[in-house]
């Protein structure tokens, strides 16, 4: 048996099933086993830093349980720990996820990639003429944990300063209208899987940007960038940063860079590659 989440069933029922004596593996897709907000993003739409339990308790009192399960935090972590200890294996996609879990639930974690690796040796940033408009590609559903607030501040900065940057989102966001009002963002809307390649080609972009502010556990969006031969700029958190540092195919930048600095990187990522 495989356990991929307790969300929708409830941690208590999943724990009850774990007592039946079946062999089972647990796959780690997010941080809901120790964070009822699921993605480790706090009230300010930034990575919370994984504070001590009292701070987590306050967060839950203020924001509730994004999991839909109102089990108290101490019991949630106790049941999660017991489920993990009974498992045949607890499986994560990368070292980053495994390390975060070991800080909260002291069990061995096995590493296994969720998919076959994409060759990245030829996926590099190509310098552009300084006066050329650079088109930046984003893919998927851009919510708060995926960097919406940062993207909005970035778009407004570009519009106010006249920088030669434009953003093409193949997908949608949690609030399209504010982005579109800047005049420097285009959004395709929701798409079917078989439409992705043609939509990406239509944007005629230069490179990709993955603005997620939570420690993603794998990032299939990064895989899609690479499958379409786009190098990617992303922040130094989670699986995307680990994958780029390991395989190449992009640039990892500090998570809390000022918006003006992020814009400078996106204008010419190649000049920052050796730093």
140-165 pLDDT, tens digit per residue, is 999 999 999 999 999 999 999 999 99
Between 73-86 and 53-63, two packed helices, what is the crossing angle to 10 degrees?
120
Superfamily holding 134-272: Glycogen Phosphorylase B; (3.40.50.2000)
Is 80 exceeded by the pLDDT of residue 219?
yes
- Range in 72-76, 96-100, 115-119 with the lowest mean pLDDT: 115-119
The whole-chain average pLDDT of the chain stands at 96
How would you classify the pairing of strands 134-142 and 25-27? Answer: unpaired
- Cβ count within 10 A of residue 167: 23
Mean pLDDT of 119-133: 93
Q: Binning pLDDT at 50, 70 and 90, where does residue 65 land? A: very high
Residue 62 has pLDDT above 90, yes or no: yes
Report pTM: 0.94
Q: Please determine, for residue 270, whether its predicted confidence score (pLDDT) is greater than 70.
A: yes
Per-residue pLDDT, averaged over 160-176, amounts to 98
Percent of the chain beyond pLDDT 70?
99
Question: In 108-125, which positions are buried (b, 16+ CB within 10 angstroms) versus exposed (e)?
Answer: ebeeeebeeebebeebeb
Which regions of the chain carry the CATH code 3.40.50.2000? 134-272
Instruction: List phi, psi (to 5°) of 42.
Output: -95, -170
pLDDT exceeds cutoff 60 at 73: yes
Given this model, what pLDDT does residue 274 score?
65
């Amino acid at each position: 048996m495989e356990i991929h989440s307790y969300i929708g069933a409830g941690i208590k029922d999943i724990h009850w099933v774990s007592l039946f004596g079946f062999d089972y593996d647990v796959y780690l897709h997010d941080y809901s086993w120790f964070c009822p907000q699921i993605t480790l993003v706090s009230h300010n739409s930034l990575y919370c830093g994984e504070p001590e339990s009292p701070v987590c308790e306050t967060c839950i009192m203020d924001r509730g349980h994004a999991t839909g399960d109102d089990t108290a935090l101490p019991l949630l972590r106790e049941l999660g720990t017991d489920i993990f200890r009974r498992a045949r294996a607890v499986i994560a996609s990368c070292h980053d996820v495994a390390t975060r879990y070991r800080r909260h639930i002291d069990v061995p974690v096995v590493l296994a990639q969720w998919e076959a690796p994409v060759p990245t040796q030829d996926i590099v940033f190509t310098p552009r003429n300084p006066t050329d408009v650079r088109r930046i590609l984003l893919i998927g559903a851009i919510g708060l944990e995926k960097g919406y607030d940062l993207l909005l501040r970035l778009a407004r900065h570009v519009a106010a300063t006249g920088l030669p940057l434009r953003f093409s989102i193949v997908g949608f966001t949690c609030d399209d209208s504010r982005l579109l009002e800047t005049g420097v963002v285009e959004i395709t809307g929701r798409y079917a899987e078989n439409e992705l390649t043609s939509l990406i080609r239509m944007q005629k972009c230069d490179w990709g940007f993955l603005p997620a502010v939570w420690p993603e556990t794998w990032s299939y969006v990064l895989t899609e960038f690479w499958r379409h031969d786009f190098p990617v700029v992303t922040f130094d958190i989670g699986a995307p940063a680990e994958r780029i540092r390991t395989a190449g195919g992009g640039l990892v930048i500090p998570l809390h860079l000022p918006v003006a600095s992020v814009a400078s990187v996106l204008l010419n990522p190649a000049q920052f590659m050796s730093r």
